[in-house]
Structure 1
Amino acid sequence: MQAEKDCIEALRLLAGLSKCIGANTSWARIRCVKGRKGINLYLHTISQETLEILKEADILSYGVHIAVYTRGRRGRHILLPSLGLLNYIRTPRTYVRVNRKAAILFTYGRDILPEGIIELRKPPRECPNILPVLDEYGEPIGWGRLNLSQGKPIIENLLDVGWYLRSGV
């Protein structure tokens, strides 16, 4: 029962985030799977019949992992987008584009300081402070959270493409 409520809330948050960042996921089916750290959201484009067969088989290795709904540091539930969601952003509404040096540091898990920011499109007030991070050519390299320090933007690294190498996945 609680997992079903969590799934509904995760889907609601994903719809809001997708709208805010310009990701189009409306054409696909999104599947919720209870994982060790929370509810994992997967996006896929298979028939409903195939989906039902896979649900019964409890197979986890199909679809694109797009987000996880989990408890944050303060005990609140949060939606953390994964790298798979970056592929569904067509025209980003909100993002941060960074220079070459900042992009390299970001892919090693570092935060982005104001001097590394080329362009920043802040999210509207009703949107979460989660932004796609783009390199100088506009290619997505991860997700960051916009924070302000003495009035200057700092992008906290939430997830970057270097994570795959560092995690050993």
Structure 2
Amino acid sequence: MAVGVPEPQIIPRNRLGYVYSVAVRFPQPQIIPRNRRGYVYSMAVGVPKPQIIPRKTWGYVYSMAVRVPEPQIIHINRQRYVNSMTVGVPEPQIIPRNRRGYVYSMAVSVPEPQIIPRNRRGYVYSMAVGVPEPQIIPRNRRGYVYSIAVGVQEPQKYLEINLDMFTLWR
């Protein structure tokens, strides 16, 4: 959820492992399938050619963002690495979730790709432009994710979160 968006963004995941976003100002979800060689591409609105998001050998993902106004979505590959194609806004966008349940944020408003490595303990963090410290977005026990976004004192709810559970987590 981007900063300044009052309503939570829901990102369900279907049976095939695809995740999709019902984003603000964009009623229909955008699907980013993965081809046979492991590359994912975006059927982005206003983008005539698909955007390629290759994945490095060590599991690092990076985005070839294209600065379109609508938020683009995500795909989860066979090794459960997910990558985000969310562009056009200065605030970091949420989404991906790794094997251990942690999600990370990738802000892409620059032409250079952003690299999101994952450390040995399964935590992922964002090398976002203008963000000196990595942003961690944990997931609570009930499976809901929420963002501790840059410049936001309180985390933004992705789904409905039990306030008591959130208090325990803090």
TM-score relative to the length of structure 1? 0.28
- Report which of the two has the higher share of helix: 1
Greater gyration radius: 1
Bigger strand fraction? 1
Q: With structure 2 as the length reference, what TM-score do the two structures score?
A: 0.28
